[in-house]
Amino acid sequence: QKEVEQNSGPLSVPEGAIASLNCTYSDRGSQSFFWYRQYSGKSPELIMFIYSNGDKEDGRFTAQLNKASQYVSLLIRDSQPSDSATYLCAVNHGSSNTGKLIFGQGTTLQVKP
């Protein structure tokens, strides 16, 4: 079992729709959860972080965390073609507590005009 799992996609949604990206993790001691966006050939860009169970909203983005189910998701409302990228879920390695991030393989999102 991979430590952080994501569906590689591609996930295709029409412009204006809600895109839902999902991630599961195996380490129950994980404390911090991050979503990064990576355009092809570019570096990861931090989108959201969440530490507590529940929802966290920032503009068109909502992160959701359920520690009991070891599940974290990212919702993108009113998706735009410029949102087309690979979205990386990252989890702080809780047992070592060093801040080391474990990344999923990423989900490719395509927003079609």
Partner 1 sequence: NAGVMQNPRHLVRRRGQEARLRCSPMKGHSHVYWYRQLPEEGLKFMVYLQKENIIDESGMPKERFSAEFPKEGPSILRIQQVVRGDSAAYFCASSPGGAKGTQYFGPGTRLTVL
* Residues comprising the chain, all counted: 113
Nearer to partner 1, 12 or 96 (CB): 96
Structure tokens at 56: 């966290």
What backbone phi and psi angles, to 5 degrees, belong to 93?
A: -75, 95
Minimum distance, C-beta of residue 60 to partner 1, in the bound complex (Å): 19
Minimum distance, C-beta of residue 29 to partner 1, in the bound complex (Å): 11
3-state SS, one letter per residue, for 16-65: CCCEEEEEEECCCCCCCEEEEEECCCCCCEEEEEECCCEEEEECCEEEEE
Nearer to partner 1, 100 or 112 (CB): 100
Interface residues with partner 1 (CB under 8 A) are 31-32, 34, 36, 42-46, 49, 51, 88, 90, 92, 96-106
Structure tokens at 6: 């994501």
| SS3 category, 111 | strand
Minimum distance, C-beta of residue 102 to partner 1, in the bound complex (Å): 7
Nearer to partner 1, 25 or 34 (CB): 34
Minimum distance, C-beta of residue 5 to partner 1, in the bound complex (Å): 11
Nearer to partner 1, 64 or 104 (CB): 104
